[in-house]
Amino acid sequence: MDYLDDCLLTGLKELYSYQVVDVNKKLSIYKDYPDELKYILYGRGYTVTQNIEPHACDRDDIESKIRNKFYDYVVYSKIEKCNDYFDLVYEHYPKNRIALLDGGDWMNIHPSVTYDTMFFKRECFLGMSNVNYSRYFNNIKPISFAYPTKRVTRNKNKSKLLSTINPLDRRTYFDADNPLEYKFKTEKEYYEEYQSSSFAITCQKGGWDCMRHYEIMGNGCLPLFHSLETAPPGTISMLPRRLLLQIKTMWEKNRDNLVDNYDEYSERLFDHFINNNTTIKLAEYFIKEMNDAQK
């Protein structure tokens, strides 16, 4: 699985339905994807699977359509894993109508940036480690994960202050008898844990941008972002870093005041989230960047 691919494709499908052609059909995003297959995916397939109603999509005559520039844009989610038709696309399409996504946890830029196409980079730190690719920086745009638009839930009737899930302690979300098995056997059970909690701890995982951040906020809970102040510039680019840092600092130094003003902070965070961090907003951001590149 590639979460960035899942999130952006879901958002584009939410916006444009069958007009978005996933040439190699991404079976897991559709609602008819079987549960028995979902639960063997990474993270049990929570959040990013079964979000789109099945629909007909024209996947015929791909090569002919590419030659005739039938598609507005051509997007490769992982060029190092799948480069189907790339030579043909590269021959017939302007570079600013081709987008490569780098959704990996690493900060180093993938060499495919040298194709000089539009390049959307998660963990987009344009520092010294990427100096070899500095001539391409103008083509690189930051991008992040997102939360499926129709899954957003707000429960204001909280039963606990802090969620039991603590990513700094694997025992809080993996089974004690089987360290590879999640404690939460269903997506609903997992979400309800966040929905019933006022706050939940989150942190950097493989990369600073992590699906857990969005799952916490998408279920109406405020994240306490461990070590947020050390996140490099260019990472978690779509999140309200200053607000999240304020929430974290108040939890550590003035918790009573934070709790007393919970509704205010919740409203501020939810307003940002609903306008920036859903899959449909991610897709709108992507399309805007691609459209701007044509000007």
76 phi-psi bin (left φ>0, alpha ψ -120 to 50, beta other): beta
What's the first-to-final CA gap in the chain, in angstroms? 34
State yes or no: pLDDT of 1 exceeds 80.
no
Tokens of 69: 């520039």
Mean pLDDT, to the nearest integer, of 241-246?
98
Amino acid at 187: E
Contacts of 71 (CB under 8 A, 6+ apart): 21, 65
pLDDT tens for each residue of 75-111: 999 888 899 999 999 999 999 999 999 999 989 999 9
d(CA 227, CA 209) in angstroms, rounded, equals 13
Sheet holding 74-76, edge to edge: 74-76, 98-102, 118-121, 140-142
State yes or no: pLDDT of 180 exceeds 80.
no
Q: For helices 187-195 and 211-218, give the axis angle rounded to 10 degrees.
A: 70
Tokens of 89: 């696309």
Domain boundaries, the chain: 3-146+279-292, 153-276
pLDDT tens for each residue of 127-160: 888 999 999 999 999 999 999 999 999 988 899 9
pLDDT tens for each residue of 53-69: 999 999 999 999 999 99
Q: Is 166 exposed, middle or buried (0-12, 13-18, 19+ CB in 10 A)?
A: middle
d(CA 200, CA 178) in angstroms, rounded, equals 24
Q: Give residue 128's pLDDT.
A: 81
Q: Give residue 255's pLDDT.
A: 97
d(CA 161, CA 42) in angstroms, rounded, equals 29
State yes or no: pLDDT of 178 exceeds 80.
no
Q: Give residue 172's pLDDT.
A: 87
Alpha-carbon Rg for the chain, nearest whole angstrom, is 20
Q: Under DSSP, is residue 78 helix (H, G, I), strand (E, B) or coil?
A: coil
